[in-house]
Structure 1
Amino acid sequence: MKHTLYSILFFLSFLLTISCSDVYQFELAHKKQVTLNETFKITLSEKENKPIKSMQFFIDGKEVNSDNLSLTVNTATYGLGKHSVSALVFFDDKSKKINNSFEVLANKKPLVYKYKIINTYPHDTKAYTQGLEYYNGYLYETTGRRGQSSLRKVDIKTGKVLQKTDLDKQYFGEGMTIFNNKIYWLTWQAKKGFVYNLDTFEQEREFTYHKSKEGWGLTNNGVELIKSDGTNRIWFLDPGTLQEKRFLQVYTNKYAIANINELELIEGKLYANKYQQNTITIIDAKTGIVEGLVDLRPLEKEMKKTQNLKPQDEVLNGIAYDKENDRLFVTGKNWGKLFEIELIAKQ
């Protein structure tokens, strides 16, 4: 009896499978990788050409106008990076959503730069550098690690710490910037930042960030704070609410640049340390296009002549720019030297 029951159930299941063979099978066809400013087409199809009543296309969650079962996309509208694309299809008194994505790459190759050392200055070997900024003749620096994070005002020529305040031991300090005579300082994984009085180093307020993954680098463009979070995204924060308004995705003509760390805005370009790579990436702050790559690996070799560096830890990090005198400074985590360098494009 039990065997007969199982046979009946199996037969009914088989019949159900046959009856469901008429299920619609949709497909979104398009190029997976495209170049900025390129126009391409996205097409929806039903594998067996079954009738479709209507449909709607969405890119990054927003509905876009389409021509029947196809959509023409101008990548300039969406910018660099990965973008979601979906189609909501109505058929046979039913509906179904099909999801996919495309990736927009930069439309030009980055220039490659080498460098020349102009000057060398002393730097505190106990400074695990996270943020660095030049302001009114001094370097302002934030250091990391829990229980060791500090905010400092430093004399460039001597490396002497002129003013210092420590961060609460529960936090891991990260990047900083000076904006409207206030110091803004990020923490790593606490999703929290702090605002300090520039003159007294007294903490005046704190803020939280929720959209970006973590706190890494920080700079500003005179209107907004600009933040990295360890991915390939650069976030722009409202100076009043200190909330993330928007982001750029950073790309070369071949791939995304991840692990973006300390930031410095120089003449409309973002100079960014790429964590553990001992390189600086020069980024168009409006598009996210990587316009230049600076190979600073020889600086690590220069440091190793006088100092043992912990691999993958005591790496290049820290970029500061003296606009008035056109001086570019770089250093590293616990490095004993601060370098003034000049960038030279390779021919």
Structure 2
Amino acid sequence: MDTTGTLDEALQRLHASGPERLGRLTNHAPMAVEALAARGRGAAVHRWLDLYASRLEEFPTTVERITDAGWRSALGDPRRAADWIARFGRELDERPWRDVLALWWPRLLPGMNGGSTHPVIRVGHAVRTLLADDSTEPRLTELAHGLGYWAARHRPVPGLAPVPGARSAAAALDAVTPLDGREGGFPARLGRVRSLPVWAAAVTDPAEAHRRLTELVRAATHRYATHGHGDPTMLVHAATAPNAVLRTLPALPRALWVPSLRAAWTASAAVTAMYAPDAPAPYVPPGDVTPEEVFERALAHGDEHVVKLTDTALDVGDERAFAAALRAVRLGEPLR
């Protein structure tokens, strides 16, 4: 973890910006700079942020204070992003961050697909910093921004019909039926997802939920090595969203681990359904590379999704995960 203060400086710089731009695109900078700092590349944080700065927009204006009595009506309203961030800022001033997270996690969990899964990913990055180091003010504020963004973009996916799945996560992802057609963005496609394969539905033990979630992250990361071309950007989230949940589990009561697994599976499988290619590409081994070399290539490329997928691939830590990261480097548009 960064011990130089660089990450805190970057987060302070970013908290003057909103969670989105152009009304719908996510501000990825807080997640990317946290990944750089976590992987020992603190010296590159501000240089990367300078390249990304043109994509930042001003922090949105508030509408109305979100109260204990009225929070449900504000859930899923993107116009209330500033109100939600302020709400979580107040709560984190008053109570330990783990208590706030434990209270709101089950409330937000059904809406994980909102904001193209970016809010839960942002929360996962924020929690990693808090678990690894002191709860500095910028890191607590980052958690408030992540939770507030999630609440504002909260979107459940109701009425999904279960269809036969498979025992392993990899086989269950292979069993996902791709949507007909490729038209529309994430919200439009999500609205057309009607069914998903059953996987891990019978899990009741928290330890088994942790094991299955680890398996899902590995399977989704591996799958990118051969299926990432379906949509090089969006298919990243099939791996990074469940990994955000996995990173958050140690901060949550164990009673929340099983529902977390189920929500993570729904998110990963839905992204797979929306963007899966017609056929896989040949697997290309990564060659003789170290984890540090893989991340260095991602940093040189610079694209925020490439950086975040590589960060997850290093968590998985095997050859096929490194191949997935290098495939993202080849497929993605570099940050300039």
TM range (shorter): under 0.3
Structure with more contact order per residue of length (Cα contacts < 8 Å, sep ≥ 6): 2
The structure with the greater share of residues assigned to helix is: 2
The structure with the greater share of residues assigned to strand is: 1
